[in-house]
Amino acid sequence: MAAETGYAFAPGATAQAPTRTLRSVLADYVQISKPRILLLLLVVAWAAMAVAAAGLPDWKPFLGVTAAGTFSVAASGAFNNVIERARDRRMERTAQRAVAAGRISVAAAVAYASVMAVLSFASLAVLELWWAAALTVGAIAYYVLVYTVALKPWTPQNIVVGGLAGSFPALIGWAAQAGDLALPAAAPALLIAVLVFLWTPPHFWSLALVYKDEYAAAGYPMMPNVRGDASTRRQIVVYSVLTAACSLALAAPALEAAGWIYVATAIALGALLVARAVALLRSAGPQQDRGFFFFTIQYLGLLLLGLMADRVVFGALA
């Protein structure tokens, strides 16, 4: 029994859990905070701020958005780990997550997530950026309640509707810099939000193709499980085309949101995105699907960095 459980028992002794180091505990809390997606979401917010500022954002809103984004991603990730812990145990990819594996208790994870949520709001409220603070709370609620609880376990369109969660940073960044979301001035922020919304399905479905058997075992109705690989890849192409088109719409002269640096970046990256999506139809397999997944991360990051560079350069020349 001792060999099976990892604990040693002696007659009359009480079972003792293995001693954990501070470093390992901190590593688990970092893990449930989902830091891998943090930088990309911050870039979405920073890009919207750069457009709103027509150059470099003001430093106080920039720091507030960066701190709030970090805390809100941690809160959302921790709540997600708690809610999905039972299903995580059924998937090889997620079975060793800290809450699913029992290294962090549910109560501790909920307490941590709650503190992170409060800090995310406070980071913006202390600067009296009330629109951005409210949207940050809304982003956490949408990801946890709408996507994780209501959509992901019940519909293959989960990632489509749930993709709105990733669109919030664009609105938060704009509101923090501009003070509100009044139209038509905030139209570029809405377009960036739509861009992320359209980008999310091809990004996530390419990963779902790789792990479709695990998602099926966990009971998630992901698109490849429900509609099949071929249908999923065709939809990836459609959404990739829409994403590329939306990226070019952001450069419409009437918006005054982007110049030639961004246009050149959007054309080159959009052509690559569509070409690689079409290639999935001809050369299907886990390696190709995984490669496309990582490319989508590079696509969105480089596109928005190009937008930021465009605004900073043209802002300096203005």
Q: Is the pLDDT of residue 5 over 50?
A: no
Least confident of 29-33, 39-43, 152-156: 152-156
Alpha carbons 158 and 219: distance in angstroms, whole number: 13
Residue for token pair 């052509």: 271
Chain-centroid distance of CA 149 in Å reads 16
Structure confidence by residue, pLDDT tens digits, 253-280 = 888 889 999 999 999 999 999 999 999 9
Residue range 135-160: average pLDDT?
92
What integer pLDDT is reported at residue 10 of this predicted model?
37
% pLDDT > 70, the chain: 93
Percent of the chain topping pLDDT 90: 76
Q: Is the pLDDT of residue 317 over 70?
A: no
Sign of CA dihedral 48, 49, 52, 54: negative
Could you tell me the two tokens for 140? 């956490």
- 6-20: average pLDDT: 45
Structure tokens at 70: 């970090």
- Mean pLDDT value of segment 61-65: 98
Phi, psi of 184 (to 5 degrees): -85, -5
* Beta carbons within 8 Å of 7's beta carbon, 6+ residues apart: 15, 16, 17, 18
Q: Does 16 have pLDDT greater than 80?
A: no
**What value does the mean pLDDT take over residues 120-143?**
97
pTM over 0.85: yes
pLDDT at 8 over 50: no
Confidence of residue 12 (pLDDT cuts 50, 70, 90): very low
Question: Does residue 13 have a pLDDT over 70?
Answer: no
Is 257 or 296 the better-scoring residue by pLDDT?
Answer: 296
Q: Cis peptide leading into 184, omega within 30 of 0?
A: yes
Q: Residue 318: its pLDDT value, please?
A: 56
CA–CA separation, 197 and 181 (whole Å): 18
For the segment 185-228, what is each residue's pLDDT rounded down to a tens digit? Answer: 999 999 999 999 999 999 999 999 999 888 888 888 889 888 99
Which tops the pLDDT comparison, 8 or 247? 247
For the chain, what is the mean pLDDT? 90
